[in-house]
Chains A and B, each alone.
Chain A
Amino acid sequence: MAIPNTVAAAMARCEVKKEYGNFIGGKSVPATKGQTFDNLSPITGQLLCKVARSTAEDVEKALDAAHAAAPAWGRTSATERSNLLNKVADRLEQQLEKFAILETLDNGKPIRETLAADLPLAVDHFRYFASCVRAQEGSIAEVDHQTMAYHFHEPLGVVGQIIPWNFPLLMMAWKLAPALAAGNAVVLKPAEQTPLSAIVFAETMADLLPAGVLNVVNGFGLEAGKPLASSNRIAKIAFTGETTTGRLIMQYASENLIPVTLELGGKSPNIFFPDVMAENDAFFDKALEGFTMFALNQGEVCTCPSRALVHESIYDRFMEKALERVKKVKMGHPLDPATMIGAQASNDQLEKILSYIDIGQKEGAKVLTGGARQVHTGEAAAGYYVQPTVLAGHNKMRVFQEEIFGPVLSVTKFKDYDDAIAIANDTLYGLGAGVWTRNGTLAFKAGKDIKAGRVWTNCYHLYPAHAAFGGYKQSGIGRENHKMMLDHYQQTKNLLVSYDPKAMGFF
């Protein structure tokens, strides 16, 4: 069936309800105080649905449900949890188009991305962790001939997760799949910009997951996020967002002495060594696509390759081709399958991005393409759109140092290898990076020298499960997307067992 081409038709296709509650103890419930907030679609700036505006009372109810469910859920076999996660994945896959449309309606991202990336990756994530937990083993150490150390895993219990708005369903899957696989019950708070897909997901899986294992509490950070993050009834908190809130979350966690995992963003360099232009071939074409990846998801990606570092010997020729490629990025209505760049997620995002293009120019950066709000016609006229923008400048400018979280690329030249690495590492963050060269030895050396958790080498923006993702420096704590993530959601139990019948001889 064709994708509906208006917001109203898409809402009808997905049967978007007028109002959504929380999902607690296996069922949909309104907020205790009866309040809701308006959830707008960034495609049009118009109302999509009303959503529960929760408070501490709702968080407590969700924690009650999670604590009631956690002991039995934690004792299920890995096989049982694995099979359930596979069923969740299957159902999500069966409804892939519906969830892709919901995600586009709520976030504003183009339908071609939700269909081809967000949803297939989310489905795969549940399958990956279903497999991981099935194959997970503890270990046995023979401390001495008659003393054995048995190590095995136990769930933490009830965990809190705060989900960002840039990939609402996929970021939920990244956190939820390992937490459930490991045997935890979850209280999850979606971002207030994009609450829809998480609540529909929970309702869709209601007959699969035991009541209380997954609880979704909607509302504002101050009113619902804070009571969750500061609760003494969670055994762990996971957060994706920005640095100041990350500090606040750690501060709350310190009061309760619980672990945190944080993913706090970056300002990722994308380095183009001179040999990318050695031939005009498929590899060079791929490198140009890699340059243009800053526009993926409207630049609202923690690893957006928002700083391009191009060797001075190829700079002019490379930029000519690269700008041609950027100009081919098709702007339009996010529900149009041909659209490559959709709406920014909220009005304040739009305003922030424009304020950065402004300070970039005041600092002397030159606008090579784009540089303004994009106003579409029709129902998208009042939505939040920005032209793919390329700025040329130097690495000390604020547009090179701050995550704009928009389709804004800052480009600079480098002289030699050491200069490239120095510029790449001159940032507070260390989440992602890109290296483009035909020389495998150079790529390896650069990959080792860049202080970032993920160095894409001759590729960018791939997010497969089974490749660890997380940050160095101020980009956060912990790794996602890999079986090691299970460790973030498990205790290690050690049974230290003596098979020696004799006393030790001390007393």
Chain B
Amino acid sequence: MNERVVRVDITPAAAELLRSLQGEHGALVFHQSGGCCDGSAPMCYPAKEFRIGQRDVLLGEVEGTPFFIGAQQFEYWQHTHLTVDVVPGRGAGFSVEGPRGLRFLIRSRLFTDEEYALQQAEPPLHRGPLGS
């Protein structure tokens, strides 16, 4: 498979935190949340903690950590490039960075026309748990 257009990146500060969390928890996974309260924030879990569903879409990997989003939410997000960042804060939820007083955060931009054109020629994104 040729290189895909990158759909998700990570800032240096978030990458450093993610590596530290990998040291504490082992392999991790991101799942993009939606809805109330801490919704619209990426949740980061130990890889085997969260059951990736058959229809969840794999957007890419950051620091070796797969980044998934729900299939229906993907329909509304697919035209945007995501960057995982980190800010001080106190998110609720079970995301592993919570106890550090830090919170992963998504920053977004539109894909360029050029990126969009390349995406049209790409095979579909992987859906479902990895290794399936």
Contacts and interface: CB of A to CB of B under 8 A. Distances in A.
B30 to A, nearest CB: 9
A204 interface: no
A192 B98 contact: yes
Contacts, number: 169
Nearest to B50: A248
Nearest to B76: A401
Contacts of A223: 99
Interface in B25-54: 31-41, 43, 45, 49-51, 53
Contact of A165 (B31, B32, B34, B37): B37
A428 B72 contact: yes
A241 B36 contact: yes
A492 B26 CA distance: 44
A396 interface: yes
Contacts of A348: 41, 87-91, 103, 105
Contacts of B105: 348, 351-352, 355
Contacts of A165: 37, 92
Interface in A450-507: 474-475
Nearest to A219: B99
Contact of B98 (A166, A220, A352, A363): A220
Interface in B76-115: 76-77, 80, 87-96, 98-99, 101, 103, 105-110
B35 A265 contact: yes
Contacts of A475: 35
Given A242-B34, A475-B35, A221 B92 contact: yes
Given A165-B37, A192-B98, A405-B37, A248 B45 contact: yes
Contacts of B80: 359, 363, 398
Given A403-B39, A404-B40, A241 B93 contact: yes
Contact of A362 (B43, B50, B109): B109
A500 B86 CA distance: 71
**Interface size class, chain A:** 35 or more
B89 A164 contact: no
B16 to A, nearest CB: 18
Interface residues of B, number: 43
B73 interface: yes
A483 B101 CA distance: 39
B36 A266 contact: yes
A140 to B, nearest CB: 41
Interface in A309-331: none
A225 interface: yes
A245 B33 contact: yes
A11 to B, nearest CB: 19
A265 B37 contact: yes
Contacts of A349: 89
A192 B92 contact: yes
Contacts of B41: 242, 348, 352
Interface string A326-361: 000000000000000000001111011001101100
Nearest to A427: B76
A287 interface: no
Contacts of A192: 90, 92, 98
B60 to A, nearest CB: 17
A263 B37 CA distance: 10
Contact of B36 (A40, A264, A351): A264
B36 A302 contact: yes
Given A223-B99, A355-B106, A428-B72, A403 B40 contact: yes
Interface in A212-251: 220-223, 225-226, 240-248, 251
B99 A220 contact: yes
A355 B108 contact: yes
Nearest to A38: B101
Contacts of B108: 355, 358-359, 362, 398
B33 A222 contact: no
A303 to B, nearest CB: 9
Contacts of B91: 346, 348
A37 B105 CA distance: 22
Contacts of B109: 359, 362
A226 B37 CA distance: 17
A241 B50 contact: no
A90 interface: no
Interface centre among B34, B72, B92, B101, by most A CB within 10 Å? Answer: B92
A494 B96 CA distance: 44
Contact of B92 (A38, A241, A264, A429): A241
15 contacts: A53-B99, A191-B92, A242-B36, A245-B93, A248-B45, A248-B50, A264-B35, A266-B35, A266-B36, A302-B36, A348-B103, A351-B103, A352-B41, A359-B107, A402-B39
What are the nearest 6 A-B pairs in CB distance?
A348-B89, A265-B36, A265-B35, A242-B39, A244-B33, A348-B103
